[in-house]
A = this chain, B = another copy of it.
């Protein structure tokens, strides 16, 4: 059913009908009610493509998905979905062809030009992220999930990675640990740098020099968690505690410790960062895992919300949210054993 036909049925002009449905003020309440009722009854709804052409709005928020198919991604999206479900806004997933630098810029450029999205969410930004510069230059509204040091005004939401890891590390130090290993995310992204910095600061403020031999970074996989932890533990002067970048990493660390006959929480302490997944909870691990916790899903919800604000005119300059991160202590952390100090 088209507008013209529908309008005829209701006995009004297309103009008035359009206005009534879009909630314009210059249409009387009685008319609006009549139109709304008829729309439901006759099953009329405006053709999205026509609306989009006319208004220039795409009705969608773009999220670029890296090749890795990160498990975080689904949670974040689920969170966004929670906020957008009642809205007239879709989530458009844009696949990234190659991790190639130039290609990625090209992808964003094309995405903007194609006008398929009203706004873009940028993930895992780097300190000097070209994407941010580009989007700003092109005038596309965007929100950065994470932080960048780039000198371009932009909206962002991030969790306080530095403080989180600093606190976690400090806690380990307070427990008497001196040799603490760190398994970080892929280098380059700001969050990894922040965590690195938090780690170092905690050590240094206690007079401990960070040991590069105990620091590694890479994808958040069970496998890398295992490999790094294992190689650290096999060093002549092994760590007594670990700070792990993700739940998957933690699984690997647990496995490595076990494979060497070490008991977690007693021989080796572990704190990981937990993005809160419904299918794998820190509390249920054995022993239960101490973690810095921040819900990825909540971040998704809030990001969606902020993007909507952005689209309804709020200035990006006002939108900066830094979320504190909880530290939840469970059984995987305990005092350092004397023998290893």
Residues of A participating in the B interface, judged by any CB pair closer than 8 Å? 43, 45, 47-50, 52-53, 56, 58-60, 65, 67-71, 73-75, 77-82, 84-86, 90-97, 110, 113-116, 219-223, 226, 248, 251-252, 255, 258-259, 277-281, 284-286, 297
Whether the pair B58, A78 counts as a contact (CB closer than 8 A) is: no
Whether the pair B91, A297 counts as a contact (CB closer than 8 A) is: no
With A45-B113, A58-B49, A279-B219 in contact, is A78–B92 under 8 Å at CB? no
Residues on B with beta carbons closer than 8 Å to the beta carbon of A59: 116
Whether the pair A222, B280 counts as a contact (CB closer than 8 A) is: yes
With A259-B286, A280-B248 in contact, is A70–B74 under 8 Å at CB? yes
Whether the pair B90, A48 counts as a contact (CB closer than 8 A) is: no
Whether the pair A78, B65 counts as a contact (CB closer than 8 A) is: yes
Assembled-state Cα–Cα distance A220/B248 (Å): 16
With A92-B92, A93-B81, A93-B93 in contact, is A48–B297 under 8 Å at CB? no
Residues on B with beta carbons closer than 8 Å to the beta carbon of A71: 71, 74, 277, 279
Assembled-state Cα–Cα distance A48/B59 (Å): 13
Distance of A39 from chain B, by nearest CB (Å): 11
Whether the pair B78, A67 counts as a contact (CB closer than 8 A) is: yes
Assembled-state Cα–Cα distance A97/B86 (Å): 8
Assembled-state Cα–Cα distance A95/B248 (Å): 26
Inter-chain pairs besides A71-B71, A78-B95, A222-B284, 11 sampled, C-beta below 8 Å: A48-B115, A49-B115, A65-B78, A65-B81, A69-B75, A69-B77, A69-B78, A74-B74, A90-B116, A221-B280, A251-B280
Assembled-state Cα–Cα distance A110/B39 (Å): 13
Residues on B with beta carbons closer than 8 Å to the beta carbon of A94: 90
Assembled-state Cα–Cα distance A221/B43 (Å): 41
Assembled-state Cα–Cα distance A113/B79 (Å): 25
Q: Which of B86, B95, B252 contacts A85 (CB 8 A)?
A: B95
With A74-B73, A92-B90, A93-B91 in contact, is A49–B53 under 8 Å at CB? yes
Q: Which of B60, B79, B285 contacts A255 (CB 8 A)?
A: B285
With A65-B77, A81-B65, A116-B90 in contact, is A221–B278 under 8 Å at CB? yes
Residues on B with beta carbons closer than 8 Å to the beta carbon of A75: 69
Whether the pair B223, A47 counts as a contact (CB closer than 8 A) is: no
Residue of B nearest to A1 (CB): B113
Whether the pair B95, A279 counts as a contact (CB closer than 8 A) is: no
Q: Which of B47, B90, B97 contacts A115 (CB 8 A)?
A: B47
Residue of B nearest to A117 (CB): B90
Assembled-state Cα–Cα distance A56/B49 (Å): 8
With A53-B53, A91-B95 in contact, is A297–B251 under 8 Å at CB? no
Assembled-state Cα–Cα distance A84/B251 (Å): 33
Residues on B with beta carbons closer than 8 Å to the beta carbon of A280: 221-222, 248, 251
Distance of A231 from chain B, by nearest CB (Å): 15
With A48-B114, A77-B65, A115-B48 in contact, is A279–B92 under 8 Å at CB? no
Assembled-state Cα–Cα distance A220/B90 (Å): 27
Whether the pair B284, A223 counts as a contact (CB closer than 8 A) is: yes
Whether the pair A91, B92 counts as a contact (CB closer than 8 A) is: yes
Residues on B with beta carbons closer than 8 Å to the beta carbon of A79: 69
Residue of B nearest to A93 (CB): B91
